[in-house]
Amino acid sequence: MQLISPTKQHIQQMLGWFTNKQQSTTWGGPQFRYPFTEQSFIEDLKLDTLASHVIEDSEGRCLAFGQYYARVGRCHLGRLAVSPAHRGQGIGKQLIHLLTQQGKTQLGVSECSLFVYEDNRQAYQLYLRLGFREMDYPEAMPMAECLYMVLA
């Protein structure tokens, strides 16, 4: 599996992954608009400013999506998602591994971080299995009800 830049077809497929406001907010953050249009979805993803990547299968189906950017001296992962039809197959683990490796190299840092909502237990457990640990955020916490996790 490898990371590639998302295409319009990938984005169109992703529109069906989030079917209510709570799912959209848990994934995209509180500023992510819902209901969304294709245009608002693209705008809220900030595809033009954030390193955005997908994993696709041999038929061009989008299996997973994720972004990274520099935040408080770390490669910060965001908007991590696996297609509902492909969950439980280890794709999330692959996505995070690829994003952390590429992001650390591109950004010239040695650690990665992410936010996870406290009630997103499935994602939280995955991050723990991958070696992320809860830490205090070094500034005012930008997202209520979230935990800050770091992978050294």
Q: Is residue 3 part of a domain?
A: no
- Has residue 143 got a pLDDT over 90? no
Say if 77 falls within a structural domain.
Answer: yes
Q: Bridge partners of 65?
A: 54, 81
CATH number at residue 139: 3.40.630.30
CB 93 within 8 A of CB 126: yes
Q: How confident is the model at residue 144 (pLDDT cuts 50, 70, 90)?
A: confident
Q: What is the pLDDT of residue 1?
A: 82
Q: Indicate whether 126 belongs to any domain.
A: yes
For 83-128, how does the pLDDT look when each residue is reduced to its tens digit (9 = 90+)? 999 999 999 999 999 999 999 999 999 999 999 999 999 999 999 9
Structural domain for 142, as ranges: 8-151
**In the prediction, which pLDDT does 137 show?**
96
State pLDDT tens for residues 3-53. 999 999 999 999 999 999 999 999 999 999 999 999 999 999 999 999 999
Residue 124 contacts residue 147 (beta carbons within 8 Å): yes
In angstroms, rounded to a whole number, what is the distance separating the alpha carbons of residues 15 and 119? 23
For residue 57, what pLDDT is reported? 94
Determine the 3-state secondary structure of 65 from DSSP.
Answer: strand
